[in-house]
Amino acid sequence: MATEILMPALSPTMEEGTLAKWLVKEGDTVSSGDILAEIETDKATMEFEAVDEGIVGKILIAEGTAGVKVNTPIAILVEEGESADAAPAPKAAPAAAPTVAAPAAAPVASAPAPAAPKADGQRVFASPLARRIAADKGLDLTAIKGSGPHGRIVKADVEGAKPAAAAPAPAPAAAAPAAPVAPAVSASAVAKLYEGRKYEEVTLDGMRKTIAARLTEAKQTIPHFYLRREVRLDALMAFRSKLNAQLEGRGVKLSVNDFIIKACALALQAVPDANAVWAGDRVLKMKASDVAVAVAIEGGLFTPVLFDAESKSLSKLSSEMKDLAKRARDRKLAPHEYQGGSFAISNLGMFGIDNFDAVINPPHGAILAVGAGVKKPIVNAAGEIEVATMMSMTLSVDHRVIDGALGAELLKAIVENLENPLAMLA
């Protein structure tokens, strides 16, 4: 039986992609796990694996084709002796119905094929061939454990399964009235405003579309509030200089940002109620401090995650951050390296920015915006004026997850760690 191979969703935010390169040709025999193609997502170029076995009967989308929607048929897989011409004509991927966006508990990569809904609202990922066999045998896919990539149900899982007794379908919920949505301004309407003026039109790539969508969602759905503090950096700068002199022989050079990452990770452990994410109808309190750090790249940004940052040394955090930042700029990060985390840091101090307010990256509970260290006069504990290096920090907080006093406690812990850097090594 001919099987359509569909354009996969290789990242949680992917809606379309570019079929960069086919690694098979028509007539090739493939098995589950074989690499079929390289696909450019909104974040990176990734390999696409086969989940069924068969023969590549027909390639429907030529390599180099951009803007291929998720779940669009890209090739036909046939069995021995079967012709691809006998396959049903491929249907275009259905347009997504408008939904109210809500941050997920944790991003989960979508499977290449359409998924059937589970009773609890989750989705069942199964290959088209497995789904057809299940339908013929009257099998309930929600009761079958998949052995394919990421738990996907494949042909072998359904061939030996037996049908279970059908459960009564739940009564449909009453449809909620749709909220009024302001009409979007069309591109042609905007262009008319600038008729007669010279400009360059820049087509949005996948990353820029994703950034626009996610940050619009964040500002519309997350009740932000902001907490501001200044931190005195003199002790940290002196300690960093001493450490770097001692670590020079090992080729290690610590940045101020490395100390900020460590300070935030330890503060999340000291204030565990603030180490949390919003999960739609609940809050998830995280045990480890998984800290994401914004990295600017050409045309956008990544937020790679430093997992278990509280337990790592400054030198380990420094080398790991340098590696993640380099691969982010080369767009070589795997999805699991930039998904997750409960807290983020955005540092624009190196660009001379004194202070700013960062937008929370859902489902994170907070993000710390870090400004530049600036020498300024202050009044010390003895009431005397002296010059100190001060750095402004703004904590953007999701009020659904963290209340004002709890956010203030977290920011206070971060400041204390940075002003007493030696204690972070204890």
94 Cα distance to chain centroid: 24
My answer on whether 392 and 255 are in the same domain is yes
CATH number of the domain bearing residue 396: 3.30.559.10
At 361 the pLDDT is 92
Does residue 307 sit within a domain? yes
At 223 the pLDDT is 95
My answer on whether 30 and 150 are in the same domain is yes
Residue at which a domain ends, from 120, 138, 159: 159
At 45 the pLDDT is 75
Sign for the CA dihedral angle at 17, 21, 26, 28 comes to negative
CATH number of the domain bearing residue 14: 2.40.50.100
Give the closest residue to 291 by CA, choosing from 308, 315, 276, 273. Answer: 308
Distance CA(98)–CA(260), nearest Å, equals 40
Residue at which a domain ends, from 138, 159, 180: 159
Write out 200-213 in H/E/C secondary structure: CCCCCCHHHHHHHH
Give the closest residue to 281 by CA, choosing from 100, 123, 97, 102. Answer: 102
My answer on whether 152 and 228 are in the same domain is no
Q: Are strands 343-347 and 291-293 parallel, antiparallel or unpaired?
A: parallel
For 137-190, how does the pLDDT look when each residue is reduced to its tens digit (9 = 90+)?
778 777 787 776 567 777 777 777 776 554 454 555 555 555 555 566 778 888
Does residue 306 sit within a domain? yes
What's the structural domain count of the chain?
Answer: 2
Tell whether pTM > 0.75.
Answer: no
At 66 the pLDDT is 85
CA angle 323, 325, 326 (to 5 degrees): 65
Does residue 202 sit within a domain? no
| CA distances (Å), origin 73, targets 94, 112, 284, 319, 349 | 11, 10, 37, 42, 47
Spell out the per-residue pLDDT of the chain, length 426, in tens: 678 889 888 776 677 888 888 999 888 888 888 888 988 876 677 888 888 888 888 899 998 888 888 889 999 888 877 766 655 555 444 444 333 333 333 333 333 344 444 444 455 667 666 777 777 777 877 778 777 656 777 777 777 777 655 445 455 555 555 555 556 677 888 888 898 898 888 888 777 887 888 888 898 999 999 999 999 999 999 999 999 999 999 999 999 999 999 999 999 999 999 999 999 999 999 999 999 999 998 888 889 999 999 999 999 999 999 999 999 998 888 888 998 999 999 999 999 999 999 999 999 999 999 999 999 999 988 999 999 999 999 999 999 999 999 999 999 999 999 999 999 987
Instruction: Classify each residue of 162-194 as buried b or exposed e, where b means 16 or more C-beta atoms within 10 Å of its C-beta.
Output: eeeeeeeeeeeeeeeeeeeeeeeeeeeeeeeee
At 279 the pLDDT is 93
My answer on whether 262 and 401 are in the same domain is yes
My answer on whether 247 and 140 are in the same domain is no
Residues in Cβ contact with 36 at an 8 Å cutoff, skipping those fewer than 6 apart: 5, 22, 23, 24, 30, 48, 49, 50, 75
Q: Is 336 a catalytic residue?
A: no
Residue at which a domain ends, from 144, 159, 174: 159
My answer on whether 25 and 103 are in the same domain is yes
27: amino acid identity, one letter: G
My answer on whether 254 and 403 are in the same domain is yes
Residues in Cβ contact with 366 at an 8 Å cutoff, skipping those fewer than 6 apart: 274, 343, 344, 360, 395, 396, 397, 398, 401, 402, 407, 410
My answer on whether 36 and 122 are in the same domain is yes
At 146 the pLDDT is 77
Catalytic position from the list 224, 336, 364, 399 = 399
Domain interval for residue 131 = 3-159
62: amino acid identity, one letter: A
My answer on whether 364 and 233 are in the same domain is yes
Contact 147, 157 (CB under 8 A): yes
- Written as one string, the DSSP assignment of 96-136 is PPP------SS--PPPSS-EEEPTTS-EEEB-HHHHHHHHH
Q: List, as own/partner pairs, every contact residues 61-66 make where C-beta atoms lie below 8 angstroms and the sequence separation is at least 24, other chains included.
A: 61/7, 61/19, 62/19, 63/19, 63/20, 63/21, 63/22, 63/37, 64/18, 64/19, 64/20, 64/21, 65/18, 65/19, 66/18
Cis peptide before 363 (omega within 30 of 0): yes
At 156 the pLDDT is 75
Q: Give the helix/strand (H/E) hosting 291.
A: strand 291-293
My answer on whether 234 and 152 are in the same domain is no
Does residue 189 sit within a domain? no
DSSP state of 38: E
